[in-house]
Amino acid sequence: MSSVKKIAVFTSGGDAPGMNAAIRAVVRTAVYHDLHVYGIYRGYDGMVTGDIKRLEVGDVANIIQRGGTMLKTARSEAFRTPEGRKQAYESLIAHDIDGVVAIGGDGTYTGADIFSKEYKIPFVGLPGTIDNDIYGTDYSIGFDTAINTAIEAVDKIRDTADSHNRLFFVEVMGRHAGFIALHTGIGSGAGAIFLPETDTSIEELSDILKKSAKRQKLFNLVIVAEGNQNGDANTLAKQIKKGNPEYDVKVTIIGHLQRGGSPTAMDRVLASRMGHSAVQSLLRGESGVALGIINDKITFTPFMEAVSKTKHLNKDLVRMAEILAM
């Protein structure tokens, strides 16, 4: 067991549903182990400026069902500099903090890795991002809620598409990874899915539309990840309309709607497990690692391995999506 007595928790980068559940688990597990626990507000920026407050069990009551993050989140240019990190270290030392739980994505992990090596304060990371693109875990906090939100929106769009015989291009988040688009496409029964990882062309989509028309198949839904290499939803829609003027083409961009809302049961349980395990790992002396869950078991990946390695889409799911869209 380590000598950790006072720990801090913060959220950084983009917010994700379930972050509050993770914060709650960290605080209550810490108190159970007779630790003092502090909340760092506005991520690394709050660490630099000293926006740090003691948290008790009651402070995290009635937050498990809330989206966003009670600790707020912000980007910090100051933390990127040695001077800023020195200020951050002084802020932690002023509260005698000797262990930190960082909830976020790649940028959060990179900052935690640099800082913990410079100042020897143990850091453990939790994957908090709706994109689900962090290496070292099957699922990240917020992903399940994001795809459920997207599917609910797509289901409503399909109602109007069916009523007016329109072809909808629906854009979901995913600049560099297509996890949200793939799962949304499968879950909503989309006719085609455009992913950053694949090179589906507009010509291929035109062929699919023509084949569907010959079979008199109702084809009215295309899911597009915002980082698709052949263009965003608006670009693809214009190209299809140009080559197929008979189609009534519409575009819907779901956008930041996917970040909000009450977390699903899966995200609440996932975040709670991770927050609970993060405190226990600090007590065991773990440091410089990102916590994940693979095959339903808690795992640990060094920060820079989690950042540098790419998490790939399940090829079987991609192939299945193509087959089911026939």
Instruction: List the catalytic residues.
Output: 131
CB 240, CB 231: distance < 8 Å: no
Question: 10 Å Cβ neighbour count for 84?
Answer: 18
Separation of alpha carbons 123 and 28, rounded Å = 18
The helix (H) or strand (E) run that includes residue 127 is: strand 123-127
Question: Which two structure tokens, joined as six digits, stand for 116?
Answer: 């913990």
Q: Go through 292-302 and write b for each residue having 16 or more CB atoms within 10 A of its CB, e for each that does not.
A: bbeeeebebbe
The CA-atom distances, in angstroms, between 290 and each of 44, 70, 93, 306 are: 17, 22, 23, 7
CB 174, CB 194: distance < 8 Å: no
Question: Which two structure tokens, joined as six digits, stand for 6?
Answer: 């006072």
**Spatial CA neighbour of 232 closest among 275, 194, 191, 259:** 194
The single residue listed with the structure tokens 């410079």 is 118
CB 247, CB 167: distance < 8 Å: yes
The single residue listed with the structure tokens 């028309």 is 213
Report DSSP letters for 210-265, one per residue.
HHHHHTT----EEEEETT-TT--HHHHHHHHHHH-TTS-EEEEE-GGGGG-SPPPH
